[in-house]
Chains A and B, each alone.
Chain A
Amino acid sequence: MAALLEVKGLKAFYAKTQVLYDLGFDIAEGGITTLLGANGAGKTTTLRALCNMVRTEGTIRFAGKDIGGRPTEEIVRQRIAHVPEGRGTFTTLTVDENLRIAAYTRKDKQAVKAELDRVFGYFPRLKERLQQQAGTLSGGEQQMLAIARALMLKPRLMLLDEPSFGLAPLIVVEIFKILKRINEEEKVSILLVEQNAALALDLADYAYVLETGRVVMADRADVVKNDENIRKSYLGY
């Protein structure tokens, strides 16, 4: 299958500090790809670079189109949804508003309504909390809200930055199950960044392992998972 996202020679900088060095990777359409690596390997920065949220060099092609250097909001409108580290909740807005904001450019109210209903199919709990201020949701609910909001953008590619962060193991399992469903039912390709490598490798088809801003290994998820050397040296479990 043709690659949905092709990244070549990606470099990223915070002020003068270079964080990514000639990173290259592909994401297959319809698949789940995971980026693994220790703290500071550049996982989050890679996601931020894809949406031009840090100073970036290199080529990024999405669905055959060059998107490198475009403003963040334009990249998002190409249907790339980014669920950022820390969930990016609009804390003072209600749950309903948090969801609707993702559809604010769309004129067709009926379609947005249908979209909301579809999203509630995955996250029924959000429906019960529609008028609640989003900042008062639990961590797990906020993560669900973030994924639900990303879905409202009708993405072709969803970038997820540590969806398991700070959540109880049971909630994490629930969320990962939903991600699998979203991937299969909505045909949304997923790029998943995770600290929890075991969890990510169970979900993903393909894995890239990063170390200090470089790809040190790329292979099918089950291969990476069963390679004891890699696990011990890079993934720490």
Chain B
Amino acid sequence: MEQFLEQIASGLANGAIYACVALALVMIYVSTDHLNFAQGEMAMFSTYISWQLMNWGLNFWVAFVLAVLVSFVLGVIIERAILRPLHNAPVLSVVVVFIGLLAICNSVAGAIWSYLIKEYPSPFPKSTFGFAGVIGPHQLGVVLVTLVVLALLFLFFRYTPLGLAMRAAAQNPQMARLVGVRVDWMLALGWGLAAAIGAVAGIMVAHIVYLDPNMMSGILLYAFAAALVGGIGNPGGAVVGGFIVGVLENMVAYVGNMIEKTTGVYIIGNGEKLTVALIIVIFVLTVKPAGLFGRVVVKRV
């Protein structure tokens, strides 16, 4: 039983990471209809930035905040410099650019920091975060940090005029212009925010998966699955989807292990976790393409 709870807890911790990356994906998707394949690599790059800052002697949280801010600015710059000129380009061109961006982030990170796997510290000391036996201090910390970030984002979008303008620009860009919203800047801001959320996810997960230029590739797949489960285009859904996928992958491995233990037959286990993500993607796309929370917009004429 304890093992079962442990698996759920660690699933929630992983899920928090997937939720962040999924949210970053959805944020760009709702305003541009594009899936940013480079989201994971951008997050990886941000994580390296924080590592570099810590290497220069900064405290973890100072490095965390700085890396998130730098990522925000880089996100804005990428949108303005690379995607803005592609405003009217066909989808495939944009996809190719995303893949190029992915490759560039990956190789630049490799060139600067090498492909050697690095250890990454956890900012959550055992003494204050280690009260429960079921969930580890780092896992608990990850869940808390992501929940705070998600809450802040929710408040920003729900209650600030700028958040409202961003939602309006994503929903109906032409009409947003007609009420004086600078839609182009809202898109850039969306990219900045997505990059910043990705940075949070990368920095939180680096202690678990270790730091290397390919650290986010698996996570990006889970995040895709999460975004699809929640209904791509629904930020809240992406977050819930993240937690569902995180717990689900652990449950599948757990059940597989139990079966092996009792019957001695190996069907599924830890090695097949990534397969679970892919099966989820295919399952959702074929059975319920709108996802669990994919809202069918009510529209009367």
Contact between B299 and A166, CB atoms less than 8 A apart: no
B301 partner residues in chain A, CB cutoff 8 A: 139, 166
Of B50-58, B72-80, B172-180, B256-264, the one contacting chain A is B172-180
A139 to chain B: which residues have CB within 8 Å? 300-301
Q: Provide the residues of chain B in CB contact with A100, threshold 8 Å.
A: 161, 164
**Which residues from chain B sit less than 8 Å from chain A, CB to CB?**
161-162, 164-165, 167-168, 171-172, 174-183, 295, 297-301
- The answer on a CB contact under 8 Å between A90 and B174 is no
* Apart from A101-B165, A139-B300, A153-B180: 18 A-B pairs, beta carbons within 8 A: A53-B174, A73-B183, A77-B180, A82-B178, A88-B172, A88-B175, A89-B172, A90-B175, A90-B176, A91-B299, A93-B164, A97-B168, A101-B179, A104-B161, A135-B300, A149-B179, A153-B179, A166-B301
Q: Is A101's CB under 8 angstroms from B298's CB?
A: no
| Closest A residue, CB atoms, query B295 | A92
Residues of chain A in range 58-82 having any CB-CB distance to chain B below 8 Å:
71-73, 76-77, 81-82
Rounded to whole Å, the gap between the CB of B126 and the closest CB of chain A is 45
Contact of A104 with B297 in the complex, beta carbons under 8 Å: no
Q: For residue B165, which residue of chain A has the nearest CB?
A: A104
11 A-B pairs (CB sep. < 8 Å): A73-B180, A82-B178, A90-B175, A91-B299, A92-B171, A104-B164, A105-B161, A105-B180, A135-B297, A135-B299, A136-B300
In the complex, A93 Cα to B176 Cα: how many Å? 12
Residues on B with C-beta less than 8 A from A135 are: 297-300
Chain A: minimal CB distance from B172 (Å)? 5
Residue pair B297, A92 in contact (C-beta under 8 Å): yes
Q: Is A138 among interface residues, defined by CB-CB distance under 8 A?
A: yes
* A32 contacts the other chain (CB 8 A): no
Q: Which residue of B lies closest to A136 (CB)?
A: B298
Tell whether, in the assembled complex, residue B177 and residue A84 are in contact, meaning their CB atoms are under 8 Å apart.
no
User: CA A89 – CA B180 in complex, angstroms?
Assistant: 15
Interface residue tally on A, bucketed by range: 20 to 34
**Main SS class of interface, B:** helix
Tell me the smallest distance from the CB of A71 to a CB of chain B, in Å. Answer: 8
**B181 contacts A73, C-beta separation under 8 Å:** yes
Q: Contact partner of B171 among A93, A136, A152, CB < 8 A?
A: A93
Q: Which residues does chain B contribute within 8 Å of A71, judged by CB atoms?
A: 177
| Residue numbers in A under 8 Å from B299 (CB-CB) | 91, 135
Q: Which residue of A lies closest to B182 (CB)?
A: A73
A residues 110-167 touching B (CB-CB < 8 Å): 133, 135-139, 142, 149, 152-153, 166
Q: Are B298 and A84 in contact (CB under 8 A)?
A: no
Asked if A102 lies at the interface with its beta carbon under 8 angstroms from chain B, I say yes
Q: How far is the CA of A73 from the CA of B179 in the complex (A)?
A: 7
Set A53, A101, A133, A142: member contacting B176, Cβ < 8 A: A101
Distance between Cα atoms of A136 and B300 in the complex (Å): 6
Chain A residues contacting B168 (CB-CB under 8 Å) are 90, 93, 97, 101
A76 and B298 form a contact (CB under 8 A):
no
With a CB–CB cut-off of 8 A, which chain B residues contact A88? Answer: 172, 174-175, 178
Interface mask (A164-180 → B, CB under 8 Å = 1, otherwise 0): 00100000000000000
